């Protein structure tokens, strides 16, 4: 990968004070993210001076690319007037991203620096349900009328398009704002100047409702390869747009959430977060797991006489529960991910159930035979090997079947399958694993000693 101007050159260029006019001229060609990288590695007085001289709209972009938790700090480096100007150059969804991370005092500080119109808009956006389409949309879209020509539209765009976030699609509305259709910029520029907008308008337009869940919206972007989508209210009036760059963030956020939940972590825990937050994130699940472990231990306790007679059982039983736990986790992971990717449907669920059952049987036969033979050889007791082998096989079948069933049942009960599946699957493989092995051994005890 390469830049035409690499970071070192960029820094030289920025720091060259004689260059300030040239800098201002060329600043639009420097990606805000690159400037941020420089600010992060070295935020000194010289860079401060340069920042203060940059245009407001550029600084607004800079703030948008800054990490959520550092945006406010960056903003506060400027004079109050400059802060106001920067904020009023930001698009509405960028401001809500900033405000979402702030405490009440900071939030009011930011709101007080917005223009009245902007303030109203932001308060409206903040009122939408968290993680809904409304909460992630931007107000900055372009709407046009169907009866205009391409030439008239192009002239209109020469004044309007600069403010819009991503002006790849123009929305055709009536006077009130009811969404009637969409025209792509590509269709406009590839049509002759006298073409009427109505003749290139796609009226079979897909839109999302302000209250739709952001995860569903992300799935739509993915399924249909959209670049942007209009958001409408109950009356069908277009109120905002969602663009694909936000969707990538949502997909990453939702996947991180699933990965965390499967491992028993709070969905919000950050690798670079605080000690307190880590403990708050991990302790609840470990506590639930402790209960599971205590139940499993009480099963073992119940059979302590058997174990005292044949102490080998204490060494073998963790193999049985451990293998069951791992196999269950494999099935559960593939099913939870399959649900998230919409690859597990009503149509193929039974086929997948029988596949998982088959995996349990075949893997059970394989691992069961190895462990069985190893036990026979090591303890020179064929029956003990048989008991261990049969128990492992049974537990591996329990593992794949519960790994398949638990997430599906949880989903039916409207619980996030990623959240609690592993608790139930582990409980099943641990408790039943110990129970099957130790009860079988107790039954066979007279022949084992």
Of 134, 230, 240, 338, the residue at the interface with its own copies (CB under 8 A) is: 338
Q: Which stretch binds its own copies (CB under 8 A): 44-52, 95-103, 208-216, 409-417?
A: 208-216
Of 129, 248, 415, 443, the residue at the interface with its own copies (CB under 8 A) is: 248
- Is residue 29 a contact residue for its own copies (CB under 8 A)? yes
Nearer to its own copies (CB atom), residue 123 or residue 202: 202
Bridge partners for 138 per DSSP: 241
- Is residue 123 a contact residue for its own copies (CB under 8 A)? no
Tokens of 327: 């196999």
- Is residue 199 a contact residue for its own copies (CB under 8 A)? no
SS3 227: coil
**Smallest gap from residue 230 Cβ to its own copies (A):** 11
Instruction: Give, as ranges, the residues between 259 and 318 that touch its own copies (CB under 8 A).
Output: 259-260, 262-265, 269-275, 278-279, 282-283, 285-287, 289-290, 292-294, 296-298, 300-301, 304, 307-308, 311-318
- How many CA atoms lie less than 13 Å away from 155 in the CB half-sphere? 6
Q: Which stretch binds its own copies (CB under 8 A): 73-81, 88-96, 120-128, 201-209?
A: 201-209
Q: Is the dihedral of CA 168, 173, 179, 180 positive or negative?
A: negative
Instruction: Give, as ranges, the residues between 135 and 194 that touch its own copies (CB under 8 A).
Output: 154, 157-162, 164, 166-168, 185-186, 188-192
- Is residue 80 a contact residue for its own copies (CB under 8 A)? no
Distance (Å, whole) CA 118 – CA 92:
8
- For 145-177, letters b (16+ CB in 10 Å) and e give ebebbbebbeeebeeeeeebbebebbbbbeeeb
**Smallest gap from residue 123 Cβ to its own copies (A):** 26
- Is residue 203 a contact residue for its own copies (CB under 8 A)? yes
* Residues sharing a CB contact under 8 Å with residue 335, sequence separation 6 or more, in sequence order: 344, 352, 356, 403, 404, 407, 408, 417
State the residue for tokens 């699957």: 425
Question: How many Å separate Cα 181 from the centre of its chain?
Answer: 31
Nearer to its own copies (CB atom), residue 109 or residue 222: 222
Q: Which stretch binds its own copies (CB under 8 A): 79-87, 101-109, 200-208, 408-416?
A: 200-208
Distance (Å, whole) CA 36 – CA 43:
10
């Amino acid at each position: 990968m390469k830049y035409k101007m690499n970071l070192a050159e960029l820094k030289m260029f920025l720091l060259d004070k004689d260059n300030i006019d040239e800098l201002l001229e060329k600043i639009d060609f420097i990606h805000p993210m690159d400037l941020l990288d420089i600010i992060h590695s070295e935020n000194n007085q010289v860079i401060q001076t340069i920042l203060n001289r940059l245009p407001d709209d550029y600084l607004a972009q800079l703030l948008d690319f800054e990490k959520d938790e550092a945006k406010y700090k960056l903003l506060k480096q400027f004079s109050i007037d400059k802060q106001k100007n920067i904020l009023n150059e930001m698009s509405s969804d960028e401001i809500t991203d900033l405000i979402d991370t702030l405490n009440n005092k900071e939030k009011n500080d930011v709101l007080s620096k917005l223009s009245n119109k902007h303030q109203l808009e932001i308060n409206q956006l903040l009122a939408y349900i968290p993680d809904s389409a409304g909460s992630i949309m931007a107000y900055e879209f372009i709407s046009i009328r169907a009866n205009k020509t391409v030439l008239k539209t192009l002239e209109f765009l020469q004044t309007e398009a600069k403010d819009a976030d991503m002006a790849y699609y123009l929305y055709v509305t009536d006077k009130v704002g009811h969404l009637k259709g969409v025209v792509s910029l590509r269709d406009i520029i590839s049509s002759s100047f006298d073409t009427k907008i109505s003749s290139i308008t796609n009226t079979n337009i897909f839109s999302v409702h302000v209250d739709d869940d952001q995860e569903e919206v992300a799935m739509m972007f993915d399924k249909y390869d959209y670049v942007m989508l209009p958001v409408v209210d109950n009356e069908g009036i277009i109120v905002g747009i969602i663009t694909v760059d936000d969707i990538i963030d949502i997909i990453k956020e939702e996947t991180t959430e699933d990965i965390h939940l499967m491992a028993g972590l709070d969905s919000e825990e950050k690798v670079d977060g605080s000690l307190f937050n880590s403990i708050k994130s991990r302790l609840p699940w470990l506590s639930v797991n402790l209960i599971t472990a205590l139940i499993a231990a009480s099963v073992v306790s119940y059979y302590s006489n058997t174990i005292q007679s044949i102490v080998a059982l204490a060494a073998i039983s963790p193999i049985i529960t451990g293998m069951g736990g791992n196999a269950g986790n494999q099935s559960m992971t593939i099913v939870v991910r399959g649900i998230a990717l919409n690859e597990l449907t009503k149509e193929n669920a039974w086929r997948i159930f029988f596949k998982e059952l088959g995996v349990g049987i075949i893997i059970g036969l394989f691992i069961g035979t190895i462990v069985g033979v190893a036990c026979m050889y090591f303890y020179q007791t064929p029956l003990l090997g048989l008991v261990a082998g049969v128990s492992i096989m049974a537990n591996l079948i329990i593992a794949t079947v519960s790994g398949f069933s638990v997430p599906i049942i949880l989903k039916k009960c409207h619980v996030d399958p990623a959240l609690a599946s592993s608790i139930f699957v582990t409980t099943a493989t641990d408790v039943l694993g110990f129970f099957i092995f130790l009860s079988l051994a107790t039954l066979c005890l007279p022949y084992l000693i």
